[in-house]
Amino acid sequence: MRRCLQLGRAALIAGDAPVGSLIVVGGKIIAEGIESVKSKNDPTAHAEIEAVRVACDKFGAPDLRDATLYTNVEPCVMCAFAIRQTGVRAVVFGLANDRVGGASSKYPVLTASGFPAKHAPPEIRAGVLLAECENLQRDFENFKSQIK
């Protein structure tokens, strides 16, 4: 999670939302993603999607059944769908996003058992390094208020 926070800080410095994500298989980081929606002018360039893309390229298939995805902010609904489609085994995050989060919002794509996805819901672990994740989000909110 500390690496996710480092990646999130890099995203913030680049002018994007402070989100970093990584995918771990067998205790090793195999992919990283940094939020880059604004810098790439691509609404799908969320940190989690970026990490999933790199991991799927490495494996040559969209099969991440042995993977754990880490991210400092709960994956949104879009990211949650990609996570479900690739079969990620577990999702670990710090800060919940009750507005559009894939587990804690009214759109629980990550956890819905009847959801039409290829794979079963992943294990969810929330609140990891929560204070540090909240601090980074606070820095982002302060940054946004300064440029208005």
114 exposure class (CB count in 10 Å sphere: 0-12, 13-18, 19+): exposed
Among candidate residues 48, 74, 123, 134, the one labeled active-site is 48
Coil, helix or strand for 52?
Answer: helix
Residue 25's identity, in one-letter code, is V
Q: Is 32 a catalytic residue?
A: no
C-alpha span between 90 and 137 (Å, rounded): 23
C-alpha span between 46 and 95 (Å, rounded): 15
Q: Establish how many alpha carbons lie within 13 A of residue 58's alpha carbon, considering only the half-sphere containing its beta carbon.
A: 15
**Catalytic residue positions, numbered:** 48
